[in-house]
Amino acid sequence: MKFEAIAVENIPLIQNGDDLPLIICENVELRDRDIVIIASTIVAKAEGETFRLEDITAGEKALEIAARNGKDARFIQAVLTRSMEVLVETPFMLVTTLAGHTCVNAGVDESNVENGFLLYSPKDPDSNASSIGKELEKISGKKLSVIITDTNGRAFKTGQTGVAIGIYKIKPIKRWIGEKDLFEKTLEITEEAIVDELAGAANLLMGEGAGGIPAVVIRGLDYYCEDNTFIKEIYRPEEKDVIKKGLRCLQKNG
């Protein structure tokens, strides 16, 4: 058994309005059932999500948080603009984004963006994955899956990894429940987060710095799914999320 991960080389610095599917197809020959993995940074750049702090006006809530955590209120405003809930304010902003993804700073970042500019994370990455996927399929004539990734930290561990934030035609979870282990015991709870594992694998080729590899093709694994799929399937339902409950408690008790 083996699979391949292929870095898509020669992608230019992406600008507002660039046609990502076309650029990707010009630089890699896609095959049926390839999984095209794309860094959210270039999706956001293509959508014109760059901004300057100078152009942000901090609202009341941002000013309050800034008074507590000492960060730039305009930056906090940018994070709040893309958040539906703040779970931690200090020493960093841990939020749930409008799309339901929980991460630091709502993915607002300045790395790999022109000096003086920051970048929002894509607002609706599932919809980006789906429109990019459809266009990639149209240009290449192949059946494809797409994963849009970002780099996130993890609770309990140092070190960041690639994670999936938007998907197209790939089931996010492989359910092992009901399958047998080596000793004929039935598996009861294991659900494998396929799209995060693939994002992590692709991130090995992307790296975090000046590598200039914002897209990777994974070939040789069959996770293609005829129907469109949604990343929110992977977000734990509110009532089962004990970590979020704990964080809300901490916030209430100052």
Under rule CB under 6 A, residue 212 binds ligand GDP: yes
How far does Cα 50 stand from its chain's mean position?
Answer: 17
Does the protein bind ligand GDP through residue 41 (CB under 6 A)? yes
Q: Identify which of 169, 176, 213, 215 has the alpha carbon closest to the alpha carbon of residue 195.
A: 169
Stretch that binds ligand GDP, among 7-15, 74-82, 88-96, 240-248 (CB under 6 A): 7-15
- The reply to whether 151 sits near Mn ion by the rule CB under 5 A is yes
Terminal-to-terminal C-alpha distance of the chain: 52
Considering only CA atoms, give the Rg of the chain.
19
| Position 190 contacts ligand GDP (CB under 6 A) | no
**Contact between 40 and ligand GDP per CB under 6 A:** yes
* 179-238 positions binding Mn ion, by CB under 5 A: 208
Site for ligand GDP in 145-184 (CB under 6 A): 149-151
Q: Which is nearer to ligand GDP, 211 or 246 (CB)?
A: 211
204 binds ligand GDP (CB under 6 A): no
How many residues sit close enough to ligand GDP to count as binding (CB under 6 A)?
A: 22
Q: Decide: residue 95, CB within 10 A, 0-12 exposed, 13-18 middle, 19+ buried.
A: buried
Between 34 and 109, whose beta carbon lies closer to Mn ion? 109
For residue 96, count other CB atoms closer than 10 A to its CB: 18
Smallest distance from Mn ion to CB 41, Å: 6
Residues that bind ligand GDP (CB under 6 A): 11, 13-14, 39-42, 45, 109, 111-112, 149-151, 206-208, 210-214
